């Protein structure tokens, strides 16, 4: 789902810049675009540090979005080549960390097997053995369960100021170390892919129906197959990360995610090209999409109230969490339909647009006067 969201963000960048270049002159398109990204960054900080949503996507989207402007005129082919570059970077990065951990295990096991009554360990061997022991202890299923319990204790029943302090440290780590170590290439991969698919007409449904069908079947099929082998191994090992690291051969998260995202995208376009489905999309989901920014931030507010305010954090089973998801979706679909009947923008869309263009657009819809008889 985040892959689809990132694709649409990249496509939306081309859509926005194409319109700005036609309507504005000189540096004004760049001025508006970069102001829009910087305000998105601010909203991301608010979402993370005020609405208490760890792992907010707006902040990293804004950071990566600042890089897109110079690439707006590239051909779809060159944009796809850039996307593949980031796919290669991501696959390399996830496996460089993975094989580093495998080396820690292999080296540590070899040292642990030595007979220390006959062989005196060197300082380096002692350090390697310590790394191995620490990794084994910290990545066992028991350690994972303990970490989850500690996390629940830190959050459940705490006041808003205490939660602010807790999530301040969490979000500072996510938006600094984690972003630069694991996240930027993941986002840019789909940004550039979305730009390419929009420019080529693929995202607009302009390609042959058989092409969407093939990509849907291959993408979803390969993605689910790769998911199956990964989850089967995790389940067999009872989600013990130490044992998983020992036995797993190669990480393919970014490859799998790319296949699945393109597969689901093609399936959605294929469904959209069928008239009855198209009407359902228009009648049900268009108002939700028109205020997607508001709905995204609203979910942070709603879930913070439910899980922190009402104390449900850490109490629901995974299947029970889907009940909450369904209720939020139903509420937001109904709310979006009512809101867009009377207003031209969602509330956060209107604020973001006003800050971007430095003027306030009309907010309420004009009432249509009855025709004279």
* Statement to judge: residues 266 and 288 lie in one domain: no
pLDDT score, position 282: 76
* Statement to judge: residues 316 and 243 lie in one domain: no
pLDDT score, position 324: 96
For residue 310, being part of any structural domain is answered with yes
pLDDT of residue 373 exceeding 70: no
* Statement to judge: residues 170 and 292 lie in one domain: no
pLDDT score, position 182: 86
pLDDT of residue 318 exceeding 80: yes
pLDDT of residue 269 exceeding 80: yes
75 band by pLDDT with thresholds 50, 70 and 90 = very high
For residue 60, being part of any structural domain is answered with yes
* Statement to judge: residues 170 and 297 lie in one domain: no
* Statement to judge: residues 266 and 298 lie in one domain: no
For residue 42, being part of any structural domain is answered with yes
For residue 345, being part of any structural domain is answered with yes
For residue 316, what are the domain limits? 284-367
For residue 129, being part of any structural domain is answered with yes
* Statement to judge: residues 130 and 243 lie in one domain: yes
pTM here is 0.92
pLDDT in tens, 181-210: 888 999 999 999 999 999 999 999 999 999
For residue 372, being part of any structural domain is answered with no
pLDDT of residue 348 exceeding 80: yes
| Total H helices, total E strands in the chain | 16, 0
Q: What is the mean pLDDT of the chain?
A: 93
Among residues 241, 324, 334, 242, the alpha carbon closest in space to that of 285 is found at 334
pLDDT of residue 272 exceeding 90: no
Domain-ending residue, one of 273, 295, 325? 273
* Statement to judge: residues 349 and 265 lie in one domain: no
Q: What is the mean pLDDT of residues 333-351?
A: 96
For residue 279, being part of any structural domain is answered with no
pLDDT of residue 121 exceeding 70: yes
* Statement to judge: residues 307 and 345 lie in one domain: yes
Domain-ending residue, one of 238, 273, 308? 273
Among residues 35, 18, 69, the alpha carbon closest in space to that of 359 is found at 35
pLDDT of residue 371 exceeding 90: no
Q: What is the mean pLDDT of residues 270-285?
A: 82
pLDDT score, position 363: 93
Total structural domains within the chain:
2
How far is the C-alpha of 369 from the C-alpha of 373, rounded, in Å?
12
* Statement to judge: residues 269 and 302 lie in one domain: no
* Statement to judge: residues 256 and 291 lie in one domain: no
Q: In Å, what is the CA distance from 360 to each residue of 30, 36, 352, 356, 357? A: 20, 14, 10, 10, 8
* Statement to judge: residues 39 and 124 lie in one domain: yes
pLDDT score, position 270: 92
Q: What is the mean pLDDT of residues 77-83?
A: 97
pLDDT score, position 283: 83
- Per-position b or e across 307-316, b if 16+ CB within 10 A of its CB: bbeeebbeee
For residue 373, being part of any structural domain is answered with no
Please, which residues have CB within 8 angstroms of residue 194's CB and are 6 or more apart in sequence?
6, 7, 8, 9, 10, 11, 12, 13, 203
Domain-ending residue, one of 273, 305, 337? 273
* Statement to judge: residues 137 and 264 lie in one domain: yes
**Chain centre distance of CA 321:** 19
């Amino acid at each position: 789902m985040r892959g689809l969201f990132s694709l649409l963000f990249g496509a939306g960048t081309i859509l926005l810049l194409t319109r700005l270049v036609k309507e504005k002159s000189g540096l004004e398109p760049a001025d508006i675009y970069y102001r829009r990204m910087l305000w998105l960054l601010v909203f991301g900080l608010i979402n993370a540090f005020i609405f208490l949503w760890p792992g907010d996507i707006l902040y990293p989207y804004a950071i990566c979005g600042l890089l897109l402007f110079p690439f707006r005129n590239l051909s779809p082919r060159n944009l796809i080549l850039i996307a593949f570059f980031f796919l290669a970077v991501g696959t390399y990065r996830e496996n460089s960390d993975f094989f580093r951990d495998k080396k820690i295990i292999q080296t540590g096991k070899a040292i642990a097997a030595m007979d220390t009554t006959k062989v005196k360990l060197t300082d380096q061997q002692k350090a390697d053995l310590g790394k191995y022991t620490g990794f084994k202890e910290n990545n066992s299923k028991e350690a994972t369960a303990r970490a989850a319990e500690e996390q629940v204790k830190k959050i459940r029943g705490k006041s808003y100021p205490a939660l602010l302090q807790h999530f301040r440290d969490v979000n500072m780590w996510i938006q600094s170390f984690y972003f630069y170590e694991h996240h930027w290439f993941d986002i840019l991969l789909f940004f550039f892919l979305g730009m390419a698919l929009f420019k080529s007409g693929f995202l607009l449904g302009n390609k042959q129906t058989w092409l969407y069908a093939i990509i849907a079947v291959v993408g979803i099929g390969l993605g689910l197959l790769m998911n199956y082998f990964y989850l089967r191994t995790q389940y067999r090992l009872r989600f013990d990360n130490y044992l998983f690291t020992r036995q797993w051969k190669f990480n393919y998260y970014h490859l799998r995610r790319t296949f699945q995202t393109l597969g689901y995208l093609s399936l959605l376009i294929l469904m959209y090209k069928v008239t009855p489905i198209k009407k359902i999309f228009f009648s049900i989901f268009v108002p939700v999409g028109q205020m997607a920014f508001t709905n995204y931030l609203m979910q942070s507010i709603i879930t913070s109230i439910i899980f922190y305010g009402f104390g449900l954090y850490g109490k629901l089973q995974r299947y029970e969490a889907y009940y909450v998801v369904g209720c939020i979706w139903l509420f937001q679909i109904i709310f979006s339909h009512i809101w867009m009947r009377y207003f031209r923008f969602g509330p956060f869309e209107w604020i973001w647009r006003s800050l971007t263009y430095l003027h306030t657009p009309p907010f309420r819809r004009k009432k249509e006067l009855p025709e004279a008889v």
